[in-house]
């Protein structure tokens, strides 16, 4: 198996949820529910459907690439820089994949992979039974007031 170079290392988040895959699927694919934990959007979970998130500086343009209800959702993610940075920064083209699997207890094992980021030091965050590994600057510093400290990935 060939390992990917660091420039291609994805954000990778895995978590065990008590809710069944059908409920988690709704949280990923119903605009109002998705907006409650992410951003306002107009998603329709059908292959080829284009939608957008209302990003903080500019809309994030997406297209559904794969959709298997209760199991898999994959979409492209094109984030353009805000007006102040449009001439300095390129758009970020990446892919977001949500994989859902029913657990023995009837809950959901959720894996989220966001692929296509530039080279930065790899760090990991763990807590509450979840694992998040991603590339970010500032290892050893909290990324938000309520976030745990980042630590280097093994």
Helix (H) or strand (E) holding 62: strand 60-68
pLDDT of the residue at 116: 78
**117 compared with 26, residue with greater pLDDT:** 26
Q: Write out pLDDT tens, residues 46-57.
A: 999 999 999 888
Instruction: Answer whether 46's CB lies under 8 Å from 68's CB.
Output: no
Q: Write out pLDDT tens, residues 84-137.
A: 665 666 678 899 999 999 999 999 999 999 997 654 334 444 443 444 443 333
Helix (H, G, I), strand (E, B) or coil at 119: coil
Report percent pLDDT > 90 for the chain: 53
pLDDT of the residue at 123: 40
pLDDT of the residue at 25: 97
Task: List domains and CATH numbers for the chain.
Answer: 6-119 (3.30.530.20)
Instruction: Answer whether 43's CB lies under 8 Å from 26's CB.
Output: no
Instruction: Answer whether 141's CB lies under 8 Å from 123's CB.
Output: no
pTM: 0.70
pLDDT of the residue at 14: 95
Question: How far is residue 57's CA from residue 78's CA, in Å, rounded to a whole number?
Answer: 13
- CB-based burial label for 56 (10 Å; 0-12, 13-18, 19+): exposed
- Give the least confident one: 17-21, 25-29, 100-104, 150-154: 150-154
Question: How far is residue 32's CA from residue 34's CA, in Å, rounded to a whole number?
Answer: 6
- pLDDT averaged over every residue in the chain: 76
């Amino acid at each position: 198996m060939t390992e990917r170079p660091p420039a291609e290392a994805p954000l990778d988040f895995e978590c065990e949820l008590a809710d069944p895959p059908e409920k988690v699927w709704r949280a990923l694919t119903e605009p109002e529910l998705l907006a409650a934990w992410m951003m306002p959007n107009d998603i329709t979970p059908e292959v080829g459907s284009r939608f957008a998130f209302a990003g903080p500086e500019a809309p994030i343009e997406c297209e559904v690439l794969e959709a298997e209800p209760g199991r898999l959702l994959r979409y492209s993610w094109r984030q353009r820089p805000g007006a102040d940075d449009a001439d300095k920064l390129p758009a970020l083209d990446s892919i977001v994949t949500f994989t859902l699997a029913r657990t023995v207890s009837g809950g959901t094992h959720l894996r989220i992979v966001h692929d296509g980021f530039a080279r930065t030091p790899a760090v990991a965050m763990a807590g509450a039974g979840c694992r998040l590994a991603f590339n970010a600057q500032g290892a050893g510093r909290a990324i938000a007031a309520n976030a745990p400290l980042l630590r280097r990935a093994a």
